[in-house]
Amino acid sequence: MKILVTGGTGYIGSHTAVELQNSDHEVIIVDNLSNSDKNVLDGIEKITGIRPEFEEFNLADKKKTADFFKRHSDIEGIIHFAAYKAVGESVEKPLMYYRNNLFSLVNILQGMKDNHIPNLVFSSSCTVYGQPDELPVTEKAPIKKAESPYGNTKQISEEIISDTIESSELKGIALRYFNPIGAHETAIIGELPIGVPNNLMPFITQTAAGIRESLRVFGDDYNTPDGTAIRDYIHVVDLAKAHVVAVERMVNQKMKKDFEVFNLGTGNGYSVLEVIKSFERSTGEKLNYKIVGRRPGDVEQVWADTQFANEELGWKAEKGIDEMTLSAWKWQQSLKEKD
């Protein structure tokens, strides 16, 4: 199948491109390289031996996107990652986030309708749940008011997709990620750090690499066993494989509803201190960290109920926390070699 991966030179997009090619699908990537690097294409080719087709333009540009779909109406499925995703930045620049993330989606959906491309997998996020009332959190949990414009663009995007599906022949699957971390076992692709990392894992590996002085642990006064916040960390390769399963489900017409939503997590919650312990155990490195105050907007604890994805998608995360933290460290070390 010919699959379009938007944002395919990004972190999760590039790992998904690799898994699609490993499953003999033809991949075409569109990315505006605003938050990624074109040499990721070399990395994908080095891993799979196949260089994905690539076009560089901004999907928020209506004309360029319409033109692209006219030239590629043979696409059978789209996996849409391309979006801005920094929570803090979205609070400072909401209009940039709404324009980019929502205009891109609308242009893609228009292109699908105009060219009879039926299948869309959408990159969503567990942030739509906020702090769930019940844990583990299922797909039926109520959607809470987003804590940030970034999280709001994910909620609004799901609604835009659902409404468009209602009024057309399109089909959609929204995949709600928990916390993707780690890197491909070859350490040829991984999370490209641009600026100071917001997320925990890249900050840990950069601290261990001596790029950052020390890791600040945001709060140890939460109502959790060790006081630090809990998340459901999932290996990015497990996450990538779920996207292949989802797009094949659509193309092979296995869906039960025209719009389906799946939580993609491991079902295990780990605290910040447990992730640090895992990193030290798996790498043998000693991490320099200090406890500071809570970060505004953080939820206390969230992890996924994975039953629906396991049973309905027939997909289950396989990699454990030590494999995640070690793969992140190997990727960080490969970056140093590139310097």
Torsional class of 182: left (φ above 0), alpha (ψ -120 to 50), beta (otherwise)? left
Q: Residues 9, 119, 127, 266: which binds ligand WQD (CB under 6 A)?
A: 127
Q: Residues 229, 264, 276, 324: which binds ligand WQD (CB under 6 A)?
A: 229
State in angstroms the smallest separation of the CB of 290 from ligand WQD: 10
Sign of CA dihedral 235, 238, 244, 250: negative
Residue whose CB is less far from ligand WQD, 222 or 315: 222
d(CA 9, CA 25): 17
d(CA 155, CA 146): 8
Choose one: 98-106, 186-194, 212-220, 322-330; the region binding ligand WQD (CB under 6 A). 212-220
Among residues 150, 177, 222, 233, which one is catalytic? 150
| DSSP run (H or E) holding 2 | strand 2-6
Which residues, numbered 54-93, are part of the site for ligand WQD (CB under 6 A)?
Answer: 85, 87
Choose one: 44-52, 158-166, 211-219, 327-335; the region binding ligand WQD (CB under 6 A). 211-219
d(CA 174, CA 154): 10
d(CA 5, CA 229): 33
Residue whose CB is less far from ligand WQD, 1 or 321: 321
Q: Is residue 203 part of the contact set for ligand WQD (CB under 6 A)? A: yes
State in angstroms the smallest separation of the CB of 205 from ligand WQD: 11
The size of the chain, in residues, is 339
State in angstroms the smallest separation of the CB of 99 from ligand WQD: 18
Q: Residues 72, 93, 216, 319: which binds ligand WQD (CB under 6 A)?
A: 216
Q: How many CB atoms lie within 10 A of CB 74?
A: 11
Which residues, numbered 269-308, are part of the site for ligand WQD (CB under 6 A)?
Answer: 272, 295, 298
Say if CB 154 and CB 128 are below 8 A apart. Answer: yes
Say if CB 317 and CB 243 are below 8 A apart. Answer: no
Count the site residues for ligand WQD by CB under 6 A: 18
d(CA 20, CA 29): 12
d(CA 180, CA 328): 11
State in angstroms the smallest separation of the CB of 59 from ligand WQD: 17
d(CA 298, CA 241): 28
Determine whether 150 is an active site residue: yes
Choose one: 22-30, 90-98, 215-223, 252-260; the region binding ligand WQD (CB under 6 A). 215-223
Q: Residues 9, 16, 152, 179: which binds ligand WQD (CB under 6 A)?
A: 179
Residue whose CB is less far from ligand WQD, 225 or 314: 225
Residue whose CB is less far from ligand WQD, 172 or 219: 219
Which residues, numbered 181-200, are part of the site for ligand WQD (CB under 6 A)?
Answer: 198-200
Say if CB 181 and CB 236 are below 8 A apart. Answer: yes
Q: How many CB atoms lie within 10 A of CB 97?
A: 24
State in angstroms the smallest separation of the CB of 44 from ligand WQD: 21
Q: Helices (DSSP H) in 214-313: which residue ranges?
A: 236-251, 272-283, 307-308
- Residues engaged in binding ligand WQD (CB under 6 A): 85, 87, 125, 127, 179, 198-200, 203, 215-218, 229, 231, 272, 295, 298
What are the residue numbers of the active site?
A: 150
